C-alpha cells in the first residue's frame, strides 16, 4: 500500500504568489489601489471597479463563520470524518473556503469569530481557521 | 468596508413571446438502474419517445439543443449523429441543472429569430451505471470528472461534492431563520408520497418523518434523504410555435413566461446562499406571463437537495423569506395541498436527471394526462425551475394549458 496523500492545490498563474506566501505562513489578498476593494480568488483586474492596478496585502487573520458543514461520510482517504469545512468571512471582506479546526464540532455556530491557523498537506501549508 | 454595489438594471421581458411557443412532445427513458445504455443511448431513447409523443418524424426537426457533457464532449453533435439528422441550429449548454429549461428558452429564441422551426431539447445521464461500473473493487467513480473540478480552493480543505456545497446554504438558512431538520424532512416525505403514485419512480418505499431523521448522515445538516438520487435516465421535449402546435397530436402546453438569473459572483458572495438566483429569474418569468405566484396550480421545483426546494418557495414568492420551513411543514406541497409540488416524486424520489423530468411532469399535469390519484385537479398553470452550474445558475418556465 502506498501512503495516502491529501489533495494539494494546483495553482494557476494568477494564484502562484498567494500560495508562495502561504508557504511562509502569510495569508495575502489582492487589494485594489483605486477603490480599496479586497477580493478572492486572485485575478488580474479588480472585479469591483475593473482597475488593473492593485497590490498584495497581508490579511490580519480575523474572520467570522458565514456558513459551515460537517462531513460525516468519507470522500477522500486523507480526510477522516467527522470534520468541518466553512465559508470564512475575512475581516477585509472576501469569503474563502476553509477547514475549521476545532475539538468540539457541536460548538460551531454561524457568525462566531475565527482566527487564522495553518494546516499541513504533504509539503503544503494550507490556511485554516479556528474559533477563539 | 462601505462601498457601492454596481449591478446592471434588469431588462424587460418580451411579452410578445407570451404563449407564442409550445411544448408539443415529451419523452423519457427508463429510470434508475439501466446498465444497458450509455448517457447518449438513454437520451436517444428519450428523444425518440418525445418525437413519437408529438407525432413528428425526423424530417420535421431542424434544431437540437442538449446539455452536456457530464463526461462527454459536444453532446449535441453526437446526438445528431445518432438521430441521423443535420440541423440548422444545434448546440450544447453549460448551466448545469439550469440548462434544461435554458434549452427550451434558447429554442424559442432560435425559432423566433428564424434559425429553425422544430427543436429537440434533452439531457441524459448514466450516473448510476458510471458510479457502479467496477463492482469488483467497489470503487465509485466521481459524478464530476476531476478535470472539471476546481484545482485549488476546494479539495485541499476537504471540500468534496455538491452535497456539501448546498449543505452550506442550509446551515446558513437554519442560523438566520430557525429552519429545522423537520422542515427539510417534510419536503422529502411529501415528494416520496408522490413517488409512490408514480410507477416509473426509483423509490418504492414509504418515507415517514421518523425514518427521515434516522437517515445515514452524509454532510451535516444533510442526511441521505436530503439528497437527490443517483440515476441512469434521460428526458427530452419538443418545442415549436403555438401555431404549428394546433395541428399536432397532443394538447399543446404553451410557454407563457420564462426567465433566467445567474449569481455568477458565487455561492459565498452576498446572501446568495439564502437569496438565490431563483428570485430574479422568477420575477422575470412572472412579469412575462403577467401572472403572480398565487396563480400557479402546480410547481415542479429543482430539488437536488431538500433545502433548494425550501429556499425556492421563498425566492419565487410562494411565502416570505424565512417562512419556507413552516410553509412546507403545513402540507402545502402535497398533491392535494395549496401548491402541489414535484408531483412525480421529483429528483429526491423519482430520479435525478438534472431537471428535464420536471419540465416533462409540468407538461403532463397540464395535459391532464394522469388518473385522479396523480393528477392535480384542473391544473391550468405550472411553474418549472432549474438550478445548477454549481449553485449559481437558475432558469424558470411558466407553462399554461393550451386550447383543445
The domain locations on chain A are 13-58, 60-132
**Of residues A6, A47, A69, nearest to B171 (C-beta):** A69
Q: How many CA atoms lie within 13 A of B7 on its CB side?
A: 13
Test the A interface: residue of B7, B148, B157 with most A CBs within 10 Å: B157
Report phi then psi at B284, rounded to 5. Answer: -65, -45
Report the share of chain B in percent with pLDDT over 70.
93
Say whether residue A109 is in contact with chain B using an 8 A CB cutoff. Answer: yes
**Of residues B154, B158, B175, nearest to A83 (C-beta):** B158
Bridge-partner residues for B383, per DSSP?
B299, B398
User: In angstroms, what separates the C-alpha of B161 from chain A's closest C-alpha?
Assistant: 9
Dump pLDDT digits (tens) for A31-63.
999 999 999 999 999 999 999 999 999 999 999
Residue A68 to residue B171, Cβ atoms within 8 A:
yes
Are B339 and B212 in contact by the 8 Å Cβ rule? The answer is: no
Surface of A (15-44) touching B: CB under 8 A: 15, 19, 35-38, 41
The whole-number pLDDT of residue B198 equals 97
Decide: helix, strand or coil at residue B311: helix
Test the B interface: residue of A8, A27, A30, A71 with most B CBs within 10 Å: A71
User: In angstroms, what separates the C-alpha of B215 from chain A's closest C-alpha?
Assistant: 12
Chain B residues with at least one Cβ partner in A under 8 Å = 1, 3, 6, 151-161, 164, 167-169, 171-172, 174-176, 216-221, 265, 268-269, 273
User: In angstroms, what separates the C-alpha of A96 from chain B's closest C-alpha?
Assistant: 8
Is the pLDDT assigned to residue B281 strictly greater than 90?
A: yes
Helices (H), chain A: 16-23
Report the C-alpha gap between A34 and A41 in whole angstroms. 18
The whole-number pLDDT of residue A129 equals 98
Closest by CA position to B42, among listed B312, B326, B236, B238: B236
Report phi then psi at A40, rounded to 5. Answer: -160, 140
Helices (H), B316-374: 324-329, 346-349, 356-367
User: In angstroms, what separates the C-alpha of A62 from chain B's closest C-alpha?
Assistant: 15
User: pLDDT class for B131, splitting at 50, 70, 90?
Assistant: confident
Dump pLDDT digits (tens) for B86-110.
999 999 998 999 999 999 999 999 9
Strands A113-121 and A62-71 turn out to be: antiparallel
Q: What are the sequence ranges of the domains in chain B?
A: 17-130+231-244
User: In angstroms, what separates the C-alpha of B10 from chain A's closest C-alpha?
Assistant: 19
User: pLDDT class for B209, splitting at 50, 70, 90?
Assistant: very high
Of the listed ranges A14-18, B66-70, B91-95, B345-349, the least confidently predicted one is B66-70
Closest by CA position to B67, among listed B392, B355, B398: B355
User: pLDDT class for B80, splitting at 50, 70, 90?
Assistant: very high
- Mean pLDDT value of segment B44-69: 94
Q: Find chain A residues with C-beta within 8 A of B221's C-beta.
A: 69
Grid coordinates belonging to B226: 436530503
Report the C-alpha gap between B303 and B288 in whole angstroms. 24
Bridge-partner residues for B257, per DSSP?
B398
Q: Find chain A residues with C-beta within 8 A of B172's C-beta.
A: 66-67, 110
- How much is the mean pLDDT over chain B? 93
Q: Hey, how many other C-beta atoms are within 10 angstroms of the C-beta on B263?
A: 23
Of the listed ranges B45-59, B69-83, B164-178, the least confidently predicted one is B69-83
**Of residues A10, A69, A119, nearest to B164 (C-beta):** A69
Test the B interface: residue of A69, A77, A112 with most B CBs within 10 Å: A69
Grid coordinates belonging to B75: 453532446
Query: Which chain A residue has the Cα nearest residue B160?
Result: A75
Say whether residue A63 is in contact with chain B using an 8 A CB cutoff. Answer: no
Is the pLDDT assigned to residue A3 strictly greater than 80?
A: no
In CATH terms, is domain B17-130+231-244 a member of 3.90.226.10? no
Length of chain A: 132
* Sheet containing B21-28: order of strands: B89-93, B63-67, B119-126, B232-241, B21-28, B253-262, B393-401, B381-388, B298-300
Report the share of chain B in percent with pLDDT over 90.
84
**Of residues A10, A47, A69, nearest to B152 (C-beta):** A10
Torsional class of B76: left (φ above 0), alpha (ψ -120 to 50), beta (otherwise): alpha
Long-range contacts of A98-104 (CB under 8 A, 24+ apart): A98/A127, A98/A128, A98/A129, A98/B157, A99/A126, A99/A128, A99/A129, A99/B157, A99/B158, A100/A65, A100/A68, A100/A128, A100/A129, A100/A130, A100/A131, A101/A128, A101/A129, A101/A130, A102/A130, A102/A131
The number of C-beta contacts closer than 8 angstroms across A and B is: 103
Buried b / exposed e over A69-99, threshold 16 CB at 10 Å, is: bbbebebeebbebebbbbbbbbebbbbbbbb
Contacts of B45 (CB under 8 A, 6+ apart): B27, B29, B30, B37, B234
Q: How many CA atoms lie within 13 A of B215 on its CB side?
A: 22
Query: Which chain A residue has the Cα nearest residue B178?
Result: A110
Report the C-alpha gap between B275 and B293 in whole angstroms. 17
Closest by CA position to B191, among listed B327, B333, B315: B333
- Dihedral sign for Cα atoms in the order A18, B148, B223, B271: positive
Tell me the CATH number of domain A60-132, given options 3.30.450.20, 3.40.640.10, 2.40.50.840, 3.20.20.140.
Answer: 2.40.50.840
The whole-number pLDDT of residue B293 equals 98
Query: Which chain B residue has the Cα nearest residue A91?
Result: B1
Query: Which chain A residue has the Cα nearest residue B166?
Result: A69
Dump pLDDT digits (tens) for B139-157.
445 556 666 667 889 899 9
Say whether residue A59 is in contact with chain B using an 8 A CB cutoff. Answer: no
**The CA-based dihedral angle spanning residues B154, B158, B168, B189, taken in that order and rounded to the nearest 10 degrees:** 120
Per residue, the 3-state secondary structure of B260-292, as one string, reads EEECCCCCCCCCCCCCCCHHHHHHHHHHHHCCC
Amino acid at each position: 500500500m502506498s501512503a495516502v496523500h491529501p489533495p494539494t492545490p494546483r495553482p494557476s498563474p494568477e494564484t502562484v504568489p498567494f500560495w508562495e506566501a502561504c508557504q511562509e505562513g502569510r495569508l495575502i489578498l489582492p487589494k485594489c489601489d483605486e477603490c480599496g476593494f479586497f477580493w478572492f480568488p486572485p485575478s488580474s483586474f479588480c472585479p469591483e471597479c475593473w482597475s488593473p492596478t492593485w497590490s498584495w496585502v497581508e490579511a490580519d487573520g480575523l474572520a467570522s463563520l458565514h456558513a459551515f458543514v460537517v462531513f460525516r461520510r468519507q470522500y477522500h482517504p486523507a480526510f477522516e470524518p467527522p470534520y468541518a469545512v466553512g465559508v470564512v468571512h475575512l475581516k477585509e471582506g472576501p469569503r474563502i473556503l476553509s477547514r475549521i479546526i476545532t475539538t468540539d464540532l457541536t460548538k460551531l455556530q454561524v457568525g462566531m469569530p475565527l482566527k487564522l491557523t495553518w494546516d499541513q498537506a504533504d509539503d503544503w501549508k494550507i490556511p485554516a481557521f479556528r474559533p477563539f | 468596508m462601505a462601498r457601492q454595489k454596481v449591478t446592471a438594471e434588469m431588462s424587460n421581458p418580451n411579452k410578445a413571446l407570451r404563449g407564442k411557443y409550445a411544448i408539443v412532445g415529451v419523452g423519457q427513458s427508463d429510470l434508475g438502474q439501466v446498465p444497458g445504455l450509455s448517457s447518449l443511448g438513454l437520451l436517444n431513447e428519450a428523444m425518440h419517445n418525445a418525437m413519437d409523443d408529438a407525432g413528428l418524424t425526423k424530417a420535421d426537426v431542424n434544431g437540437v439543443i442538449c446539455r452536456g457533457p457530464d463526461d462527454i464532449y459536444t453532446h449535441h453533435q453526437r446526438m445528431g449523429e445518432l438521430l441521423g439528422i443535420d440541423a440548422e441550429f444545434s448546440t450544447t449548454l453549460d448551466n448545469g441543472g439550469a440548462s434544461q429549461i435554458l434549452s427550451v428558452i434558447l429554442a424559442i429564441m432560435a425559432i423566433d429569430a428564424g434559425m429553425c422551426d422544430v427543436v429537440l431539447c434533452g439531457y441524459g445521464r448514466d450516473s448510476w451505471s458510471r458510479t457502479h461500473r467496477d463492482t469488483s473493487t467497489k470503487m465509485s467513480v466521481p459524478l464530476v470528472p476531476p478535470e472539471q473540478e476546481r484545482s485549488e480552493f476546494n479539495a485541499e480543505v476537504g471540500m468534496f461534492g455538491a452535497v456539501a456545497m448546498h449543505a452550506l446554504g442550509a446551515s446558513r438558512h437554519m442560523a438566520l431563520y430557525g429552519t429545522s431538520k423537520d422542515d427539510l424532512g417534510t419536503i422529502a416525505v411529501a415528494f416520496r408520497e408522490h413517488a409512490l403514485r408514480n410507477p416509473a419512480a426509483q423509490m418504492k418505499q414509504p418515507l415517514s418523518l421518523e425514518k427521515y431523521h434516522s437517515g445515514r448522515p452524509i454532510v451535516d445538516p444533510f442526511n441521505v434523504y436530503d439528497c437527490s438520487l443517483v440515476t441512469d435516465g434521460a428526458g427530452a421535449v419538443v418545442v415549436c410555435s403555438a401555431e404549428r402546435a394546433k395541428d399536432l397530436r397532443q394538447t399543446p402546453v404553451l410557454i407563457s413566461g420564462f426567465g433566467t438569473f445567474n449569481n455568477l459572483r458565487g455561492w459565498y458572495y452576498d446572501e446568495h446562499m439564502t437569496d438565490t438566483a431563483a428570485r430574479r429569474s422568477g420575477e422575470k418569468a412572472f412579469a412575462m406571463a403577467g401572472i403572480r405566484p398565487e396563480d400557479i396550480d402546480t410547481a415542479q421545483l429543482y430539488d437536488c437537495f431538500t433545502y433548494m426546494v425550501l429556499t425556492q418557495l421563498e425566492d419565487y414568492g410562494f411565502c416570505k423569506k424565512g417562512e419556507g420551513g413552516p410553509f412546507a411543514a403545513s402540507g402545502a406541497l402535497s398533491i392535494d395541498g395549496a401548491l402541489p409540488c414535484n408531483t412525480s416524486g421529483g429528483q429526491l424520489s423519482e430520479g435525478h436527471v438534472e431537471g428535464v423530468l420536471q419540465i416533462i411532469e409540468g407538461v403532463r399535469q397540464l395535459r391532464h394526462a394522469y388518473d385522479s390519484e396523480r393528477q392535480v385537479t384542473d391544473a391550468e398553470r405550472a411553474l418549472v425551475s432549474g438550478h445548477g452550474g454549481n449553485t449559481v445558475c437558475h432558469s424558470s418556465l411558466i407553462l399554461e394549458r393550451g386550447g383543445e
